[in-house]
Amino acid sequence: MRQAVKLNLIHSNPCDAVELPKHKAREIQCLTREQANSLIAVRVVTRTEPDGRTVTVENKHRTLFSFMLCTGARPSECFAVKWSDIDFDRSTVTIQRSVEWLSKKQGGSWYFKDTKTKSSRRCVPLPAPMLQQLREHRAAQNEALLKAGIRTDLVFASSDGTPLQRRNVSRRYFKPALRAAGLSEDLSLYALRHSCATLLLQANVHPKIVAERLGHSSVTLTMDVYSHVLPTMQTEATAQLERMLYG
């Protein structure tokens, strides 16, 4: 509309008189350190099948949940990570794409796309236990796919080698894992991304580092989203000043 005014296509911008609704910040769902440890320790889950049967199965996405907590990556970014993106020698993973699924009306297919912004393309260091878990996951994945005669270069893939769908992972494995860990099933997969950021900020990691790990375009965005951590950070800052100035 502003451009239309500049081009003399309209005399005034009708949007200038619009009163925008007040922004309502969404409540961030996140885990405490103890809750995160409980979640990634879950090795088997109990779920209800479509026919009503209750079965106990291996929590085969345990590595995925650990990966999301360690990297703070979005679910769509995690589902698009390839083995070539992981550098075991340098202990890093490069987040450089995401996967998008079309609705059934649009054909139900999927495609890869570049990350949201330039800053979203990032190289994230991985802790040694996470790398070991990925090695074990790769060995198990190769064995399963070999038996099925399927090949895939995705780190986290479905049984037929295609990218995972968030709804299926959440319903079939994440919710049951939360239940097994004694946590609220209202949590979403995004809670793992939020937990990564919150835990780092609570550990006094510089917000700039946290923003880079999450792929945020600015530190301001990070602190706006995770403003709930600020009070505890201010308390710690006051305690440090007290130690420095008053011994």
For the stretch 70-92, pLDDT in tens is 999 999 999 999 999 999 999 99
Interior CA angle at 30 toward 29 and 31, to 5°?
Answer: 145
pLDDT confidence tier of residue 10, bands split at 50, 70 and 90: very high
Q: What pLDDT was estimated at residue 186? A: 93
As for how many domains the chain has, the answer is 1
Q: Is the pTM of this model over 0.75?
A: yes
Q: How confident is the model at residue 5 (pLDDT cuts 50, 70, 90)?
A: very high
The range of the structural domain enclosing residue 155 comes to 2-246
pLDDT given for residue 25 in this prediction = 65
Mind listing the pLDDT tens digit for each residue in 98-134?
999 887 777 778 989 987 677 789 999 999 999 999 9
Q: Which residue's structure tokens are 């999450």?
A: 214
CATH number, domain of 29, equals 1.10.443.10
Question: Scanning the structure block, which residue is given the tokens 């059934």?
Answer: 104
Residue that wins the pLDDT comparison between 178 and 29: 178
